[in-house]
Structure 1
Amino acid sequence: MSSTALPPIDSSTWLRAILTAPVYDVARRTPLDHAPRLSTRLANTILLKREDLQPVFSFKLRGAYNRLAQLTADERTRGIVAVSAGNHAQGVALGAKQLGIDAVIVMPATTPQIKIDAVRAHGATTVLHGDSYDDAAAHGRMLAEQQGRALIHPYDDDAVIAGQGTVAMELMAQHQGKLDAVFIPVGGGGLAAGMAVYLKALDPSIRIVAVEPDDAACLAAALAHGTPTRLDHVGIFVDGCAVRQIGEAPFALLRELVDEVITVDADQVCAAIRDVFEDTRSIVEPAGALAVAGMKRWIEANPGEARTFAAVLSGANMNFDRLGHVAERAAVGEQHEALFGVTIPEQPGSFLGFCRNIGRRAITEFNYRYHGRTAADGTAQGAQVYVGVALKGGTAERSTIRQALQAGGYAVSDYTENEVARLHVRHLVGGPSPLARERLFRFEFPERPGALLQFLETLGTHWNISLFHYRSHGAANGRVLAGFEIDAAQDAAFEADLARLGFWFTEETGNPALRQFVGAG
């Protein structure tokens, strides 16, 4: 896959580094479990490599400890610095405790308290700095330089890559038969690189499929450009893989060894979390289910039976308060729920007729608010209904429902795949705005004290806020929908303030779900 000639990968050196990595001083040999429900559904043998069962509930412990074990005596005396918002931090903290090394872990101020507490429980000092990983990383580099500490990188380090490669070493020892493909999640690339170099050295016929979130596909971007490429923005739901740029060292291996990169969206990840739960009764984090989501999508695109696939469950550091959001989105990701916006007559009996057209299907959500039978100009006014319907037949049944409603004379819009409708509109059904001109934007706020105040001080002093919706999902960033009353002549000044705010945003004024239910645009 390389666009330029590269020296061949020295497999023997990598195999030696992986085979001799002393990770079992702290790590467990995790099981390779058969997934009976998934295997039956997908008509193939599905195996799950259970890295969610590590002492820190993530594979990260392997690479972190292997790197720490190779520090010189002088480096151990001076201590180490690591930068992480989660799993790498816990791995480094536990490894440093085992080796008696003083550890400082720099974490963004947005890091959930459960992860901060877990790091402190292993005896490491935590330093909270900035709103993002990049802010924390810059501070970590400064501390390492000022204090003479070694910086333990989460993925862009040969020793870390070799430590992660022990996952593949175990997998190959645990499964003696034919293995058609292995699906591996990718963030910075350390796990995928370490596993790929080992698997290809032992059996080049094994297909290596890297799986990334569609809003953080840094490996796909690097392969397209032939070099690690920094993404302008990454999504935050799959936080364990929310990396803007693939590591240099992992990319040097992956560009030669990975057979395919596949991306999945948040709903598909949520559905995979449920799949794992149904087979194991364990709850993995979004990054932990990423490989399963990619495997399901790959099998759908490459039908066949009687094959054997393995997927790595990379971690289980899930905040409890994210579970409701995961359950809500899993139904859409597995095509178990359809979301529609429907206009029905504002008259007695209209609900009954509407439900008869849906048929004997379970209604999962129903949102409606009365606005009167006639509009301001005296014309008949329809009622706008936001409805969720449980599906058993996936996209085919979804299409059937829409056709049945249209045949009944209803105006129907399918919002099942509309991100704004799923995140915000279902909680906002209320009717049109009386404003002559309104612009709506979706933001991501850092989940830290003062974020709302910063927003209001930047945008709320000059601009009338006409709509504001926020719902916590237990992630490092909050998702916000906000509306503003803005004259056309003021657009340039408003957009300058948006840029000054510094939060990620995208305009949604023309979104059809918002037009229908809150009168935007």
Structure 2
Amino acid sequence: MSEETKKKGISAQPSVTIADVYDAARCLQGVTTKTKLIVSPFFSDVSGNEVYLKPENLQKTGSFKLRGAYNKISHLSKEERAKGVITASAGNHAQGVAFAAQKLGIKAIICMPATTPILKVEATRAYGAEVVLHGDTFDDAFQKSQDLQAEHGYVYVHPFDDPLVLLGQGTTALEIIDELKDVDAILVPVGGGGFASGVAFATKAVNPRVQVIGVEPTGAACMENSFKRGTVSTLGAIDTVADGCAVKTPGELTYSFCKEYLDELITVSEMEIMSALLFLIEKHKLIAEGAGVLALAALNHLPFKNKKVVSILSGGNIDISTISALIDKAMIARGRVFCFAVQLPDKPGQLLMVADILAQENANVIRLEHNQAMVTDSFKTVQLEVTVETHGAEHISKITCALEKAGLSVTKIY
């Protein structure tokens, strides 16, 4: 156990029981929403399992984080409440702490990475918290929060490495098992590990038969890295669209819980995350953030079929510009958008010829740029850049062949 962990009074193996999770559930009554499971015919078909969604993206404050934050803060003594609370967060824990502190009449200071989506920053401020933006990653913001705690004596509300936070997150599992008593597996995202720890601990305490599978983005797989090394370890760098899971170092407490209670750990690619997000919007008309769909992105990696599986949608706090960019990238990855360039003789009728070919191939033009200045080797040639909607890789291939058959050289841009 590190000296920092000892100073915060956190045990690597705290004495907690399932009764503590039920106590947390009682504490959260009237504060959080019991999000109901949603059957997903689409994700069931593609995964070969009976898939249910646990929509914590519809939770108050937009994510599961309120559960742990409120459970922790509600247990503070009168003296601790008078000091105020501080934390670091990439966004969702920030809103959970801010909401809980406001409800309980406590001052809250939240340190967030400067790269945090503006939606999460403004939502946190709207709950009355003081926001301090610092650094590019959660770990940068965490260090800033530690410095401020030491300077001002605030009570620290850790986003994942705290027993009371972990127990609050575990109430999610109680709701799942209560609603779907014959559930076979629960998929839960992993950032710092608090959510996965709480869900896995509560699940195994209630029904050890149920598998609990953690899911990490490949670009920020800090728990997998630590498992491989056999101790809590820090990634050199992280890069993922799942900003809620962009953590370099898991907690010591959460590492021990995940090591003991998780049945498996799966990593998913950025394209799998973006594709899952797009499918969720298309098939269920639900909005989630990158970290929120990790459990959906992992469905095709499951080593079993014909089981009842719950994928937890952990959060839905995503701004319009981010979701637009993610959708665009997912559309490109799935062959739904094709952007290409061709050089044409600078004479009448050439643009119409390209348009006719695209129309014959049922390609809908969504953007077109006709640029003579882009061509430097001939004043008689222009470059045409076209973006079209397509139906997949085969359709893109047919369009390319048709253009080349007409004597045009096609350069794929994306």
Normalised to the residue count of structure 2, the TM-score between the two structures is 0.82
Q: Which residue of 2 aligns with 1:50?
A: 55
Q: Which residue of 2 aligns with 1:312?
A: 312
Compared CA separation, residues 373 and 412, structure 1 to 2 (3 A): closer
2:191 to 187, 210, 217: 187
Q: Does structure 1 residue 222 correspond to structure 2 residue 226?
A: yes
How many residues align? The count is: 397
Q: Which amino acid aligns with 2:169?
A: Q
1:55 shift after superposition: 1.6
Q: Which residue of 2 aligns with 1:359?
A: 361
**1-side partners of 2:22 and 2:175: how far apart?**
10
- Could you list the per-position Cα deviations for residues 33-56 of structure 1 after superposition, in whole angstroms to 9, with x for gaps in the alignment? 112444455554221101112221
Q: Which residue of 1 aligns with 2:37?
A: 32
State the secondary structure of the residue aligned to 1:153. coil
Contact 1:276/1:283, CA 8 A, preserved across alignment:
yes
**2-side partners of 1:106 and 1:83: how far apart?**
5
Contact 1:342/1:410, CA 8 A, preserved across alignment:
no
1:209 to 193, 209, 213: 213
State the secondary structure of the residue aligned to 1:328. helix
Q: Which residue of 2 aligns with 1:161?
A: 166
Pairing 1:456-467 to 2, within 5 Å after superposition = none
Pairing 1:402-421 to 2, within 5 Å after superposition = 402=400, 411-412=409-410, 414=412, 416=414
State the secondary structure of the residue aligned to 1:20. helix
Aligned CA RMSD, in angstroms, stands at 3.4
Q: Does structure 1 residue 284 correspond to structure 2 residue 293?
A: no
Structure 1 unmatched runs, 5+: 1-8, 417-521
Q: Does structure 1 residue 15 correspond to structure 2 residue 34?
A: no
Contact 1:367/1:385, CA 8 A, preserved across alignment:
yes
State the secondary structure of the residue aligned to 2:60. coil
Contact 2:43/2:51, CA 8 A, preserved across alignment:
yes
Q: Which amino acid aligns with 2:51?
A: I
Compared CA separation, residues 410 and 221, structure 1 to 2 (3 A): farther
Contact 2:340/2:387, CA 8 A, preserved across alignment:
no
Q: Which residue of 2 aligns with 1:469?
A: none
Q: Which amino acid aligns with 1:136?
A: A
- Could you list the per-position Cα deviations for residues 319-338 of structure 1 after superposition, in whole angstroms to 9, with x for gaps in the alignment? 233343233223124x1424
Q: Does structure 1 residue 243 correspond to structure 2 residue 247?
A: yes
Compared CA separation, residues 38 and 149, structure 1 to 2 (3 A): same
Normalised to the residue count of structure 1, the TM-score between the two structures is 0.66
Contact 1:80/1:152, CA 8 A, preserved across alignment:
yes
Pairing 1:45-444 to 2, within 5 Å after superposition = 45-130=50-135, 132-179=137-184, 181-235=185-239, 237-256=241-260, 257-265=262-270, 267-295=271-299, 297-298=300-301, 304=305, 306-333=306-333, 335-339=334-338, 341-346=340-345, 352=353, 356=357, 359-371=361-373, 375=377, 386-392=385-391, 394-399=392-397, 401-402=399-400, 411-412=409-410, 414=412, 416=414
Compared CA separation, residues 91 and 398, structure 1 to 2 (3 A): same
Contact 1:339/1:388, CA 8 A, preserved across alignment:
yes
State the secondary structure of the residue aligned to 2:371. coil
Compared CA separation, residues 386 and 312, structure 1 to 2 (3 A): farther
- Could you list the per-position Cα deviations for residues 410-457 of structure 1 after superposition, in whole angstroms to 9, with x for gaps in the alignment? 5555554xxxxxxxxxxxxxxxxxxxxxxxxxxxxxxxxxxxxxxxxx
**2-side partners of 1:129 and 1:374: how far apart?**
46
Compared CA separation, residues 361 and 88, structure 1 to 2 (3 A): same
Contact 1:36/1:279, CA 8 A, preserved across alignment:
no
**2-side partners of 1:199 and 1:36: how far apart?**
25
Structure 2 unmatched runs, 5+: 1-11
